[in-house]
Structure formats: structure tokens, C-alpha cells
A and B are shown apart, each in its own frame.
Chain A
Amino acid sequence: MGEIVRYKRDVWGEEVILGVSWDLLWVVAVAVLVLLAAHAIIMAALANKKMEKASSEGRRVLRHETIDRLFHWVMAASILVLIATGTAPILGLRIAWLNIHWIAGLLLTFVVVFHIIRSLFWQDFKSMILGPKDFGEPFDSSKKPGKYTFEQKGMHWAVTVVVLAVIVTGVLLFLQIDTPFWDRTNSMPEDQLGLMFLLHGLSTLALIALAATHIYFALRPEKLFYTRSMVSGWISEDEMTANHDTSLWSPKEAD
């Protein structure tokens, strides 16, 4: 166990930030595993009290359009690749990671920009807004959400903040390496550079935690229908009425 920040000396011997302490990678990994395992155990213990699972049969409603599903999976893939390539050298794997990393990063940046534009002008932006009343939702079983549950909104916005942080710091770091588009100048002062590495590292750690949590819930039996909807686009009417307030979300029928 160590500190959160690693320091180094600049050319004059002045101490500057080097980046995040990668010991935290293990801290995050263990913490996430413990929390998720705990969640799984509690859920298993409560399993018999749980109400019956809604049927996936019957009429289907459209939850995610093809383009959005595509966006989700491209984003997911690029994030996983970024995490894998970014942590490989930390874990001691000798692979040529940097080119894959920045290409995946560029891809992520493009799809995120796409998603932002699309969500602002073509999607129902309101459906994702996290308002004060949403916070009551988990504690009141009578309250059902619109298109997105409180947890989904929370995850979405957490991911938004973290991914944007990763992207902004990543792009700034991208400028510090040679690419086919430019020769680096190495002109960023060492202390600022270190700060960028620190923020990139911290947001990466957060992203790893979020990604792990997200995947965990996506694989939970009671949430699996959401995952299915991210693959095929639809959920059943039963699933919709069991989990959502149709006055707040009235999707069209799936093809």
C-alpha cells in the first residue's frame, strides 16, 4: 500500500507529480471485487423473497435503436481495449500497447462526440436527466422509473464524467507522443504533464471500477433483459410494465 500520487524530480531536482500510484490498481480491483461479491451474496440471500421475474414473451417494445446499440458496443469495446492496453505495461506484459491504445482512444473520442451530439438533438435527452425525485426511487417500491432507472442514470452520468476526464487528459497526453499526424514537441511543463498523467490515471481507475460494476449488473439475472435489449434492441411489454412507469416512458413497438 502506498500513496495515491507518485512523484519524480524534474531536471532541476524539483519534485513534481509523475502520475497516479498504480498500487491503487490493486486497491480498486480488490474493492470492486469485495463490493460486488457482497452484493451478489446479499442478493442470493434475498432471492426467495423476490417477486417473480417478468416474462420475456409477448409483445416487444423498442428500448434501444440500432445506432445506439452500435454506439454502446463500440464504446464498450474501445474502453475495454483501452483498459487492457493501458494496464498491460503496469502488469508487466511486454506488448506494443501504445499504438493500439491511442487508436482505441481516438475511436472512443469519436463515438463519444457522436453520442453527445445525437443525444442532444435526436434522442430524448430528458429521459436521462437525473432529478431530485429520482433519488427517492430506490426507497419507494411504488415508484417506478421512466425509460431509465435511477441506477442506470447514475451509472450513465458517472461514466460520462469519468470517460470525459479520460478523454480530455488522454487527448492532451496524445499530443505528447509522435503520431502519423504530428511530431511531438514535448513542450508541456513537467509539472502539468504529471498532473495530466495523474488525472488520466485516476479517471482510469474510476473507469475500471465503473466498468466492472456495469458488467456485473449487466450479467445479473434480474437485469439480463436490459443486456438483451442492448443486443437486440427490445424488451417485452411485461418487462416494461414490471419495471417502468409507462406514463413516463411509452416506447414504440419493436419490429
Chain B
Amino acid sequence: MAYRLIGKDFVPPDVPGKVTGRIKYAEDYARDGMVYARLLTSPVPHGRVVAIDASEALAMDGVYGILTADDVYPDGEPQSTGLKVLTNEPTLMGEPILAVAARDEITAENAIAAISLTIERLPFVLDPLDSLQEGGDNAYNGGNTFIFRQGFAEEKWTADQVASFRSGNEPTAEAQQSWEYGDLEAGFAASDFVHETTFSTAGYPHMSMEPRSAMAYWENGKCYLHGTSQSLSAIAEPMAAIVGVPLEDFVFINEATGGGFGQRARAGSIPSMAIPAKLSQKINRPVMMRVSREEEFTIGGARQGLQGWVKVGFKRDGSMAAMDMYCVSDNGGKGGGGDANSAAAGVSALYQTEAMRFRNTSIGTNTGHRGAQRGPGENQIMAIMAPIMDKAAEELGLDRLEIRKLNAAQNGDVSGPRSTPFTSAYMPEALEQAATQFDWEGKKGRSRQKNGAKVRGLGIGQGYHNAGRSGMDGLIRLMPSGRLQIHNGVGNLGTYSYASTSRAAAEVLMMEWENCDVVTGRTDRHLPITSPQDGSNSIFTNTRTCFGAAQDLLAKMKEIAAMDLGGDPADYEIDGSRIYQVADNTAGMTYAEVAQRGMELGGKFTGEAELPEELNALTALSVSRLAGTGLMGIFHDPRHNDNPPGFTVTFTEIELDKETGKFEILDMVTVAECGTVVHPQGLANQLRGGAVWGIGLSVLERHLYDPQNGLPASSGYWQSKIPTYLDTPAQIGTGWVDLPDPENPVGARGIGEPSMGAVSAALNAAISDALGGHLFDTAPVTTDMIINHIAGVSEEATPLAQNNFRG
């Protein structure tokens, strides 16, 4: 289908502000009388605050007040996992205990230093298996695991069970969570190649560039909070609840967010923003709380680390007949994360496994709080699976591309525990296109070619993530000026989907983009509930809502035109910001005229009556506040069918230096299969950015906690090894299949997350290839591991385990 806007590049409205530094992040705001807050955080990985003596600090010149957990939770802290605003029961080192406000940051830090904190130290644990073992310590006060709707519980294995798992065997204990489909035993019986191994992947921090700084002030009983998030609107109601203010008295301001990557999608994962709000309320001054990089690390969360056992069987023809997977997931100090389940479902989707069993037990540790991070689960497991696929191909005498094509998801395929069909799937096409773009046929002969100390490795990776939230709302207004105001609360992380999905509305109304405004940035601009920009959801979900709202508006326009100019609404067509009769295009009205007429008519045309049922609370509030200000298109998105996937394929060639353990990425091509392309430049950015993230997961990024005392060791950019310009290719090839998906009105699906998984998979496969097919069964594979492998050195202790064991 030929679109005017969909699939075309454009300049998103916030880009000039980004290159000039004019766009404002939370920390860039200032307010008269503003004071500065700093945090006192837990000095222990697990403890209980016994006493706080702040008298000396409060007596200091320029100190305005203190906020403690007792102020935030007068009736006691909630007894559950999850980050708290402030706490007296820290379960991770660096958890905020109190905040002090002062005239400047130095004074605030001096005041923090003058506070006497008495804290009872409790036993801590850093490895889920240590906690799982009988007699092991528990990370939480009520146990070592938290079961939804039941509360804290204790999960223990015998010492033999833990030891057996540690030495590489299938865990024998009953899992907390499991699902299964197909006949697993028959699958393995029918397999000609079976591979069984334990594996581990690192959890590591999000490390968004913008720390979660926030500024708040109160005016006329209303709380204005400048913060950072992946969503303006979805976050508003829960954030208002955390601050303790009615939704209608809460304004959230967030023009731009300096990175989220899954960790800022929900209010519950950024409750620290409530600290300046509460403190401001208490001391009656605007409060800026700048969060340091180290604090961003400790409260900013991390990907879940997985440690597991997997057994995969392949038939002679290469098809994956059976897969059995058992994970022990690290829930960190504050719970959170469902990575293992997504990992298993991802394998099912990507490799079309005929029979599958998944088991998982989630255990807390006193390490960073866990939550979604770009392709949670899928991206870790693909890095483990890709070298195994290559091993299977080698054992069965198949081409590495062929074995992947054979197992690839296509239209009509299903996946996961409930055999959910895909809305559409074109993985074979993606593989083919990427192979052509990369020149697999021409290059595959270079695999394991030596040149002095250097050796070539080639890798093919595949990525998958499913995305497709429903139940969100669309809200647009045609103004008397003829301009279209598209209200979008998606959050502005830099994917530009807030703008590119808004273009679906302009597309429906056949409007010039120059005549459209995206209304976003603060909730008092009256936003509908839209999907947060997370889980690769925004493209699929928000094009549906924008499209739906535009259709509602179009229907209203036709109704008005028919009312004024005669005939039936169906007799009218639009173009050039005009609505006119199909039969006689001189009989028509400009958009400005229709909008003016709509405003005269009022009622349902201007959002004053006949609103769609089931509108979300915030949308309803926004509509009520906007009522009468323009011709309004309103839409509530019903549930869609099936599972909209995002698929990616990456081919890469590396040259690994066997003397230094370092390698260079010579070529990298990523192709996306994400339905119709909405915004090519944005998509290319997602593929490139995903590649950088994939490289981080595959070989660099880490999460270090000192086993002796629970201190976090990777709390900055340096120690957490965020990839740089020189660790990533100077050029990354991109491409896309561009076939429409039937469940989306413009045919589009999301892609942000799988763009990473394919790269981590391809890179791990390429390293394995360069090393003659060696399987590390872990991610990341770091320089020292490669050197040790080549030199035949084994470390006395387990290699650095990123607070996970490595089997």
C-alpha cells in the first residue's frame, strides 16, 4: 500500500532541540527558591535502620529539611518486594534511606555526612544458589522469594541438589513455575543430536545516560513533578498515587527522557521521583534532586541474570524436536523480572521447537533491583542458543543458514505454552535477505581461516520479541485553524515513535505533516493513556490508537459535511485538508471549516458527549478538560488477536586475535522483520543501537558484586563496561523485509528489542566459530575467558560471575 507519511523519513519535532541542547530533561529545570536534595543510602546490603539522628545536620546553616521512610510510609512500609521511595529495611546496598534538602549540593552533602545512622546488619546473599541451599541466607526479611498474591516465601534445595546443579546436571528440585507442550520424551527419542549443558548469563545495569534526577514543586495544591520516564500518561496515575495526590492535582512533566531501556516504564521502577515531591511538600520549596551515576546504578535496576540447564534435541534433518530448560533466576534485592519465561517462549518462537518444557525458580539476592531491560530473557538466551545451533549444524552436516531456515517461523506458525499463532511471520524471508545483503555464500568459506595469530569467525544470529499491547486510547483534535493536534503520551526516549506513530493519524486524514502538532511533554497538555514506550510496543499499539482516533475524527467530519452539504457521510472523501463530495469535489469544506462547525455543534463532536466506553481514567480526564476546544477524535483500542512478533537476523564476520583475545568486527548486517516500516531512519537507529547493546551483552557488560561484603563494583560507566565507539563497528548494515502485518492498521510491528538479540547471538556464534566451535555457554564472553580458553588455563576459582555462578 502506498502511504504518504508511513514509511517516509521526517524530522521529529524534538530533534533540533536535541542538537542545540535546548530540549529540557528533568535536571535542566530551575524554579525560584529551588533547593537541592541529596540522598543517604544504605551502607549495607541487607539491614534494618535502628535509629537516625539528624539533629546536627538540621542545625546546619542552609539545611531545610529531611525526608525519611517514616514520612513516606506513616503506616509502615509495604511488606512486599519492589522499590520503595525510601526505606528503613534496605535489601540492597545503596538503597535510599533518607533525603536532605539544602541551599546547594555541597551543603546537602555536608548535612548527609553529619547524620548519624544506626543500622542493624542482616545476613546477605549474592548468588541465588547460595540462598537456595538449605541453611543459606535469605535476601528478604520474609524469605528468599516473593510469590504473587501470596507474599514472601522460602525456597530451599538440599545441599546435594545445589551441588549437582552446580556441577552441570539437570536440577532435580521441583520448580516454582513450569509449562510444557508437545511430547518431550518422544522428541528427544527422535533426535539424532542432543546437546545438554548448564549456562549462565549476566544481569547488568541499564545505565541510561540521564540519571533519574527529578524536580518538584507545589502550586495551588497541585504537585508539578519534572521527571524521567518511558511514558507520560501511563505513569501519571500510579505516580500520583506514590506521591499521594489525586490524579487531577498531579502534573508530570517529561519532555525528553535520556534513555530508559525498560527500566523507566512503570512508576514502580522509578519511585525515587517521589522524593523531591514529598520533600517539596514538607518544606514548601521547589526541590531538585540530582541523582548521581552511582545512585543511578544502585537504584536504576538491572537485567536479570539467568543460570540454568538446557537440553536440546535435533532431528537428522535439523529441526529442533525438543527442548528442556530449567532456570534459576536472580530476582535481585527488590524482586522483579520474568526473563526466564520470555527466554523459553523466545526459543519456542524463534526455532519452532516441536516439544518443550520450561521450569523456573526465582530467588532474591541482595543485588540491584531487576526488571525489564531491552529484550528481557530473549536476548540473553539467543546468545547461548546461537552457538548451540551451529554445533547442531556441524554435527548433522548442515549449512548454518539452512538449519535456521528450516526452523524459522512463518505465517501460520504458533509458539509458546498456549500455541499462540503469530499475527504474521516472515523469518525465512528475513534470513534470505540478510544472507544476500551480507553475502553469506561468498563469505562462509572464510570461517575459521587463519592469518598469523588471527582467525576469522562468522556468526548468524536471530532475535525475537513479541509486542502488542491493547486497551490504550487515542485522542486527537482538529483545531479551528485547521491544524491537527495529536495527543500522545508515549514518552520520548529517542525512538521518535511518539512522533512516528502520531503520523498514522495524519496519514488517515491525508494531512500534511507540517499541519500537525504532536501534543506531549507534560500531562497538563491532556494526554490519553498510551502504551509506555517499552517492550517494543509503541509502534504496534500507538499506530492502532492514533489510527483509530483519526478514523473517529474522519467519521465525525463526514457526518458534519453531510449535515451541512447534504448527502450521506459515505458520499464524502478527503484530500488536501478538505472534505468534499466524491461526485462533486467543489462541494466541500476545509478542515478549518469543519472544525469550526464541529465546535458550534459541540456534544459528541467536541468530546462533551457520547464518549467511547471503557476509556481509561486519565484519558477521560483529559477529554473532559479539552471538551469543546476542537473537533475531537477519540478511540479506545479493543483487544487484538494473536501474537505480533518482532524478528531480526544478524550476520557478522569477526577477526579474532588468538594472542590477545581481542577481536574486530569486520562486517555486520542486521535485517528486521517488523511488518510495514513506519520510519526508516528511526528503524535503522533501532537496529544500530540494538547492535551496540548486543555487543555489550555478548562480550563486555558486567554486574559485579564483591562476594565478601556485597559491595557493588560496577557502579560507573568504567567498571560496567558500556560499549564505546571503538568497541563497535564503524558501520552496521541494516535492512528490512517490509511486509505488512494484518493486525495493525498500517501493517507495523515493533522492533527495538530483538534488534539486540540477533547481534548478541551472531557475535557469540562468531566467537565460537573462530575458536573452532568451542561453546562457552555464557554471556558475556570476555577477553580473559578467550585468552584462558586458548591457553588452556583454568582459573582457580570460577571466572568472574557477574553475581551469578558460571557452570
Q: What is the interface of chain A, defined by CB distance below 8 A to chain B?
A: 11-13
Chain A residues within 8 Å of B711, by CB: 11
* Given A12-B709, A13-B43: 6 more A-B contacts, CB < 8 Å: A11-B708, A11-B709, A11-B711, A12-B43, A12-B44, A12-B121
| Residue on A nearest B708 in the bound complex, by CB | A11
8 contacts between A and B (CB under 8 A): A11-B708, A11-B709, A11-B711, A12-B43, A12-B44, A12-B121, A12-B709, A13-B43
Q: For residue A9, which residue of chain B has the nearest CB?
A: B43
Complex: how many Å from CA A13 to CA B711? 12
Q: How far is the CA of A11 from the CA of B709 in the complex (A)?
A: 7
When distances are taken between beta carbons in the complex, the residues of chain B under 8 Å from A13 are 43
Give the nearest-CB partner of B42 in chain A. Answer: A12
The interface residues of chain A lying within 8 Å CB-to-CB of B121 are: 12
Number of interface residues of B (CB under 8 A): 6
Q: For residue A11, which residue of chain B has the nearest CB?
A: B709
Distance of B561 from chain A, by nearest CB (Å): 73
- Bound complex: CA of A28 vs CA of B203, how far in Å? 55
Residues in B neighbouring A12, C-beta threshold 8 A? 43-44, 121, 709
Nearest CB in chain A to that of B44: its residue:
A12
B binding-site residues for A, Cβ under 8 Å = 43-44, 121, 708-709, 711
Min Cβ gap B298→A in Å is: 15
Which residues does chain B contribute within 8 Å of A11, judged by CB atoms?
A: 708-709, 711
- Bound together, the chains give a CA A11 to CA B708 distance in angstroms of 10
| A143 smallest CB distance to B (angstroms) | 60
- B119, closest chain A residue (CB): A12
Closest to B47 in A: A12
Shortest Cβ distance from B117 into A: residue: A13
Nearest chain A CB to B796 CB, angstrom units? 10
Complex Cα distance, B44 from A218, in Å, reads 56
A12 to B117, CA, bound (A): 12
Closest to B93 in A: A12
Min Cβ gap B331→A in Å is 23
B709 surroundings in chain A (CB, below 8 A) = 11-12
CB distance from A187 to the nearest CB of B (A): 9
Compute how far the CA of A13 lies from the CA of B43 in the bound complex, rounded to whole angstroms: 7
A12 to B94, alpha carbons, bound, how many Å?
Answer: 11
Measured CA separation A11–B713 after assembly (Å): 13
Minimum distance in angstroms from B173 CB to a CB of chain A: 31
Distance between Cα atoms of A12 and B43 in the complex (Å): 6
The smallest beta-carbon distance between B366 and chain A, in angstroms, is 13
Please give, as numbers and ranges, the residues of chain A lying within 8 Å of B44 by CB-CB distance.
12
The 8 closest A-B pairs by CB, nearest first: A11-B709, A13-B43, A12-B44, A12-B43, A11-B711, A12-B121, A12-B709, A11-B708
Minimal Cβ-Cβ distance residue in B for A183: B796
CA distance A145 to B774 in the complex (A): 83
| B43 CB contacts on chain A under 8 angstroms | 12-13
C-alpha spacing A13/B121, complex, angstroms: 11
User: From A190, which residue of chain B is reached at the shortest CB distance?
Assistant: B709
* Cα distance, A11 to B121, chains bound together (Å): 12
- Within the complex, the shortest CB–CB distance from A167 to chain B, in Å, comes to 29
Shortest distance in angstroms between B603's beta carbon and chain A's nearest beta carbon?
66
Shortest B402–chain A CB gap in Å is 52
- Report A-chain residues with C-beta under 8 Å of the C-beta of B708: 11
A192 to chain B, nearest CB (A): 15
Q: How far is the CA of A11 from the CA of B43 in the complex (A)?
A: 9
Question: Bound state CA distance, A13 and B97, in angstroms?
Answer: 15
Instruction: Report the minimal beta-carbon distance from A59 to chain B, rounded to whole angstroms.
Output: 68
Q: How far is the CA of A75 from the CA of B709 in the complex (A)?
A: 41
Interchain CA distance A12-B123 in the complex, whole Å: 13
**Nearest chain B CB to A10's CB is how many angstroms away?**
8
Cα separation A12 to B120 with both chains bound (whole Å): 11
Q: Give Cα distance in the complex from A12 to B709, angstroms.
A: 8
Cα–Cα distance between A111 and B126 once the two chains are bound (Å)? 47
Smallest CB gap from B43: residue in A: A13
A34 to B43, CA, bound (A): 48
Docked CA distance A62–B800 (Å): 67
Q: Return the chain B residue nearest A13 by Cβ.
A: B43
Bound-state Cα–Cα, A25 to B635, Å: 83
Give CA–CA (A12, B44) in the complex, Å: 6
